[in-house]
Amino acid sequence: MEKFEYFSGIPEVGIVPRAPHAGPLMRHVYEQEHGRGGFAGKVSHTYHLYPPTNWLPEESRLLDGAGFAPHWESPLRPVGGVHHALGVLEPEAPRDVYRGMGRLIANATAAMNVTAPVAPMDYFFEHHSATLVFFVHEGSGTLETTFGPIAYRKGDFLIIPKGITHRFECDQGPQYYWAYESFAGDPEKAEAVTTGQFLTHSRRDYKFPRSLDSRNEAGRFEIVSKTDGTYARRVHPTHPFDAVGWRGTYLPYKFAVEDVRPLVADRSHVPPSGHTVFLLPGCYICVFTVRSAEKEGLWVPFFHKNLDYCETLGYHAGRFFSRGGVFSEGMISVHPVGLPHGPHPKALAALLDDKRPQVFEEVGIMADFANPATISDFALGLAQPDYMASWSGYTMEPRFLHDPGRLAKVLRLAERLADARDKLRPAGSEDEGH
């Protein structure tokens, strides 16, 4: 026995050999590699009781995608020129997580979907074209995976790497998830040299499975896979979760939104990108969460045109200060590339009336998709027709209407206020000559 204890440089759980592809254990278990980048990227190895290729050939076949998940392949069209407010999905039939998936927004490398599962999954699933990032807006349950189970609840992200066999076991009660597909790579933790490794969260906040639930069961176990728009079915005579051990870094995990510690600033407004948690090729995901309001900086969003991204924002919980009561929980805003947007009239009026809140009690999940982005017919079916009118206060409220004397007023104010200094400034900087 070793005199001292050590831990391995790579996570491992259960029964594994001393090294991949080698040792006498290979004569008693069946090794399977889950790897990216050919054989040179992230990788994990699982060790199974039975060969992973023991499918029943007579029951392997392609599926009709339109019949399996009728809205996942909803036709896409260019998005632009009009803002959209998407209402909450009301399932038309009792479907499970994947059969009820509806595509909303997509570009060449990423997509956003929504699902409101009612029925249980009677099969296992593998996505062969994308890593999945779920956000649990409502509900709870267990994500069963080859690497072990992951319990989840409202407010959790679930990251399911490309190709990993899994199944959702939903608890009783309403379930509502947003699901993001990353076709060209796995999500990476957002970091910047100016904020270090621990804002807006730490890798320590990622929870990986550690409790193997090895199944030595015989029967008929169906696995459905998705490759682009093609769905396939295969059936195995043994349970797919027959792994007795695993080693590697290519793993599913969860991340709770409550562990986001937001970047805040008293003297300036933090742009949306300052709230990024995940970077995906062609997309980044941000979390706006409970935080203190800026003291001297602009505490409502600045009006802006995003010239390279289509912005989506899922409203998860709380009161969304910048939207002036337009949105409720579960809704999604879609602001296409180039079209200006910003605070709604009620929110800007609160700023002008100096009704600054102490804390923003809200949680929103923003995903920005690199141009060109498209919107689905399914999403347009959820769109509320009067969303563009939600800014009409700027053409109706007296303080925002045309004033013949406004230019002169602004010029006079500018002479006095343009060089105004912050109240929060270093001691000894009172000398106005510097």
- Is residue 330 within 8 A of residue 345, CB to CB? The reply is no
pLDDT for the residue 322: 64
pLDDT, tens digit (0-9, with 9 covering 90-100), for 19-43: 999 999 999 999 999 999 999 999 9
Strand partners, 189: 278
Per-residue pLDDT tens digits for 272-329: 999 999 999 999 999 999 999 999 888 888 999 999 999 999 999 998 766 667 789 9
Give the Cα separation of 189 and 207 in Å (integer).
Answer: 14
Could you give the angle at the alpha carbon of 77 between the alpha carbons of 72 and 83, nearest 5°?
100
Number of other CB atoms surrounding residue 167 within 10 Å: 21
For residues 161 and 155, is the Cβ–Cβ distance under 8 A? no
Confidence of residue 432 (pLDDT cuts 50, 70, 90): low
Cα–Cα distance measured from residue 106 to residue 76, given in angstroms and rounded to the nearest whole number: 8
- pTM, whole model, 2 decimals? 0.95
CATH number of 16-257: 2.60.120.10
pLDDT at 430: 63
For 87-129, what is each residue's pLDDT tens digit? 999 988 899 999 999 999 999 999 999 999 999 999 999 999 9
Cβ–Cβ < 8 Å for 314, 365: yes
* Token pair 């996505």: residue: 127
Locate the domains of the chain by residue range. 16-257, 265-384
- 265-384 and 16-257 share a CATH fold: yes
3-state secondary structure of 406: helix
Between strands 218-227 and 124-127, the pairing is parallel
Fold of 265-384: Jelly Rolls (2.60.120)
What average pLDDT score do residues 379-399 get? 95
Average pLDDT, the chain: 94
List Cα–Cα distances, 404 to 17, 95, 394, in angstroms: 81, 59, 16
Residues 297 and 267: beta-carbon distance below 8 Å: yes
The answer, yes or no, to whether the previous bond of 94 is cis (omega within 30 of 0) is: no
Residues in contact with 355: Cβ distance below 8 Å, sequence separation at least 6, in sequence order: none
Residue 354 has pLDDT above 60, yes or no: yes
Nearest residue to 71 via CA among 38, 27, 106, 36: 106
Distance between CA 205 and CA 199 in Å, rounded? 11
pLDDT band at 202 (very low <50, low <70, confident <90, very high): very high
228-258 tens-digit pLDDT: 999 999 999 999 999 999 999 999 999 999 9
